[in-house]
Structure 1
Amino acid sequence: MSDVIAPTAAAETAQAKETRMPRKLAWLLAFACAVSVANLYYIQPVLPDMGRTFSVTAGQIGFVATLTQFGYAAGLLFIIPLGDRYRRRLLICLMLVLVALALVAVAISPSLLILSLASFAVGATTIVPQLIIPMAAGMAHPQERGRVIGVVMTGLLIGILLARTFSGFISAQLGWRVVYWIAAAMMILLAVALHFLLPEEYPQANMSYPQLLKSLWGLFRTEPVLREASCIGALVFGAFSAFWATLSFFLETPPYHYGSDVAGTFGLVGVVGALAASLVGRIADRHNPRLTVGFALGIVLVSFVIFWLTGQFLWGLIIGVILLDLGSQANQVSNQARIYSLNPAARNRLNTVYMVFYFVGGSIGSALGAFGWSFAKWNGVCLIACILLVLALLLYGVNSLRRKM
């Protein structure tokens, strides 16, 4: 990787602000996000099948999913800042090759220990979407940034949701290991495609790697918007992950008695909410995106109240999933529209801080969801998620009062 900043970087940045991003490029980035982020979520519907393969408890196999999230947080922290220093197209293609190798390691895992290590590696190398999103924000005209982020985030969330549908179906038909072999092949194909289709983009920061990492704390300390968005994002994604990490266990119990294939089809239901991302982005362009965050928190909390009160009915689960994904997507798009407006030269590092908090929150949420399931089944999961969301609303409310004082 060359560490030389191209002399035309400033000119290209200025040009990007004057021209609007082609829709085809925005949807290409959305597709790349969808296919690559799916690697993190193939595991959720197949956890019971994996547990039976290795003869372990729900709590033990649930910890493997938690390791995947922790691996992702580690990749965000130590790899994503390089996007402000090196050419993102090269980084993206390199990471796709590495994640393909990690997926193969999962597919051939002979023991729970190897599976755990391989799952951590999958998480650490599945950071391509978080290189793509700042890339899209930087290439977009400021007045269309929310819309472009919304389009890319639509792809991201659809990838998250359909990953569960895909893995649940394939696992039920061919076994969970085949899921990972197919995923590895898709990563290689995507790397080749993006090498030829992605535009070249030049970095804007001329800092050493230690300086990049050191600057993360400085950004968190000096940017109150980043601090608020990061903490709220972590709490919301924690609740989101608690639900999806335990749904397959819930659907195996009375009155459902469903397998991994049915658990995965709930991802199709969530696509309804995901498709609202572009609309949310347009709203964020026209209004204060912080207001959208407040509405999103309320929607996600209502979804868990519905899960808690009517989760034993299929219609209750369907309504709850639509609201959960709608609220989570609205929260994510609005938060990212806020942080990407702070410092153009530090977009990857701003994204690093935000997404590290976000996925650490998701990791803790997955673990808390498994804990809630172990002591109180579905009631425990919903209770923990509601506590996380109430904390997010309290933080939002306290900061709103400070702004008025």
Structure 2
Amino acid sequence: MPPPLWLMALAVGVSVANPFYSQSLLPKIKGAFQLSPGTVLQAPMITQLGMALGFLLVLPLGDVREKRGLLTLLAIGMALACGSVLLAPSFGLLLCSCFALGMVALIPSLMPPYLTAITPEPTHGRMLGIILSGQFSGLLLSRSVSGWVAELWDWRLIYAFSAIVMLAIALLFRTRLPDVAPTSKTSYWRLQRAQINLWYRHPLLRRSCISQGLLFGSFMAIWSAIAIYLSSPPWQFGPAVIGSFGFIGLASITAAPIIGRLVDHLGPDRIVLTGVLCASGGFMLMGIHKQALSALALGLMAVDLGVQGSFIANQARIYSIDSAARSRMSSQLFLTCYLGAAACSTLISLFWSQWGWAGTCMFAITLMGLAIVVERPTWQPRTHE
């Protein structure tokens, strides 16, 4: 019998936090290696690039390999990568370690198709809501935890703690998860070619990937930029205060199971479009009232809620397309998300000195406009014949 969903959500949350600890640590890393603001933003960018390549090259193995063993190996890999970040003596080696950490940060994207295979189809939305609440808990609260640790002790200490926890999660996966047979027996290279065929055969998959990539790219860019923004005048906040902004995401975290049930009852299309509009409103609020902390908090809350809601709905959309290719389609969804995140973070790091906070918000609003265009088929409700 598999562990309860709350325990799997906890494991996903702890796993997804590892690549994102650095976001609230950027001011500390900047000081430790004597870097400029634009240069230190390379750390989240290279991590997201590593994640994108992991989704492209490693995640499709979930369809042709036994998933329990693959999840266990990924947990061990994350423990080793966290240890590498802990011991990195230079910024160049830190970037290499961040890249490796991103490459193996695949547990949050492999767990949903794994659990989809062992849960009844009418409850997939609820299950995804619970698991993704754990994912977004780790994603958002990672900033708070790492900020506090950096403020009280040292910014590297969080990676020592995480390495130990990931080894415990590897043991949990190995001893408690049931085996799930592979859904395909094709070779690895045929599997990669099949990904291209999936992309061309299913317009719904393309639409889900592109709209979520635009949403997630803007989401990650704004969370990287806010650490630099709040550590500069007039704020000049420390890591603990910057990290505490992660608690803003508690609203979207608690809403995830409700969103999952709405996906089951209303269908995913409406939830995706609503998520895009919600995130757009959040970016507008932060750009217009950039000197008000309350506006920043409310804007981030709206963005978190919109991105999480659309993520739940988009996963439900693609998992309904082909049950034998869920890991490959999950690979494409997460690949476009983190390619979008890496591209947006790169642009922010290159143009931060010219754009600043207001320009970053305007950039995110532009991406939301593109996402609304991509979701044009959902503008009108479907007619039932």
Q: TM-score, normalised by structure 2?
A: 0.96
Match of 1:32 in 2: 11
Q: Counterpart of 1:154 in structure 2: which amino acid?
A: S
Q: How does 1:142-221 map to 2 (within 5 A)?
A: 142-221=121-200
Match of 1:7 in 2: none
Q: In structure 1, what is the Cα distance between the partners aligned to 2:251 and 2:347?
A: 27
Match of 2:73 in 1: 94
Match of 1:319 in 2: 298
**Would you say the 8 A contact 1:242–1:370 is kept in 2?**
no
Secondary structure of 2:375's aligned partner: helix
Deviation of 1:376 (Å)? 2.5
Structure 2 stretches lacking a partner, 5+ long: none
Which one of 369, 375, 379 corresponds to residue 348 of structure 2?
369
Q: In structure 2, what is the Cα distance between the partners aligned to 1:378 and 1:204?
A: 46
Deviation of 1:379 (Å)? 0.7
Secondary structure of 1:97's aligned partner: helix
Deviation of 1:315 (Å)? 1.0
Describe the superposition over 1:95-117 as per-residue Cα deviations: whole angstroms up to 9, x where unpaired: 11111111111111111111111
Q: Is residue 226 from structure 1 mapped to residue 236 from structure 2 by the alignment?
A: no
Match of 1:4 in 2: none
Deviation of 1:225 (Å)? 0.5
Structure 1 stretches lacking a partner, 5+ long: 1-20
Q: In structure 2, what is the Cα distance between the partners aligned to 1:26 and 1:66?
A: 31
Deviation of 1:398 (Å)? 6.1
Match of 1:287 in 2: 266
Secondary structure of 2:156's aligned partner: helix
RMSD: 1.7
Q: Counterpart of 1:158 in structure 2: which amino acid?
A: S
Describe the superposition over 1:146-178 as per-residue Cα deviations: whole angstroms up to 9, x where unpaired: 111111000000010111111111011111111
Q: Counterpart of 1:172 in structure 2: which amino acid?
A: E
Q: Counterpart of 2:130 in structure 1: which amino acid?
A: V
Describe the superposition over 1:75-132 as per-residue Cα deviations: whole angstroms up to 9, x where unpaired: 1111111111111111111111111111111111111111111100000011111111
Q: In structure 2, what is the Cα distance between the partners aligned to 1:53 and 1:318?
A: 29
Describe the superposition over 1:259-311 as per-residue Cα deviations: whole angstroms up to 9, x where unpaired: 11111111111111122111111111112211111111100000011101223
The 3 A distance-change label for structure 1 pair 304 and 372 is farther
Which one of 338, 348, 359 corresponds to residue 327 of structure 2?
348
Describe the superposition over 1:231-250 as per-residue Cα deviations: whole angstroms up to 9, x where unpaired: 00000001101110011111
Q: TM-score, normalised by structure 1?
A: 0.91
Q: In structure 2, what is the Cα distance between the partners aligned to 1:383 and 1:26?
A: 39
Secondary structure of 2:275's aligned partner: helix
Secondary structure of 2:276's aligned partner: helix
Q: How does 1:28-67 map to 2 (within 5 A)?
A: 28-67=7-46
Which one of 378, 382, 399 corresponds to residue 357 of structure 2?
378
Q: Is residue 269 from structure 1 mapped to residue 248 from structure 2 by the alignment?
A: yes
Q: In structure 2, what is the Cα distance between the partners aligned to 1:39 and 1:390?
A: 31
Q: In structure 2, what is the Cα distance between the partners aligned to 1:220 and 1:172?
A: 45
Secondary structure of 2:35's aligned partner: coil
Q: In structure 2, what is the Cα distance between the partners aligned to 1:52 and 1:386?
A: 31
Describe the superposition over 1:195-219 as per-residue Cα deviations: whole angstroms up to 9, x where unpaired: 1121221111111111111111000
Q: Counterpart of 1:165 in structure 2: which amino acid?
A: S
Q: In structure 1, what is the Cα distance between the partners aligned to 2:150 and 2:68?
A: 33
Moved over 4 A (4+): 398-404
Q: Counterpart of 2:32 in structure 1: which amino acid?
A: T
Deviation of 1:371 (Å)? 3.7
Q: In structure 2, what is the Cα distance between the partners aligned to 1:376 and 1:231?
A: 25
Q: Counterpart of 1:133 in structure 2: which amino acid?
A: P
Deviation of 1:254 (Å)? 3.1
Q: In structure 2, what is the Cα distance between the partners aligned to 1:260 and 1:207?
A: 48
Quote the sequence identity (%). 32
Deviation of 1:255 (Å)? 3.2
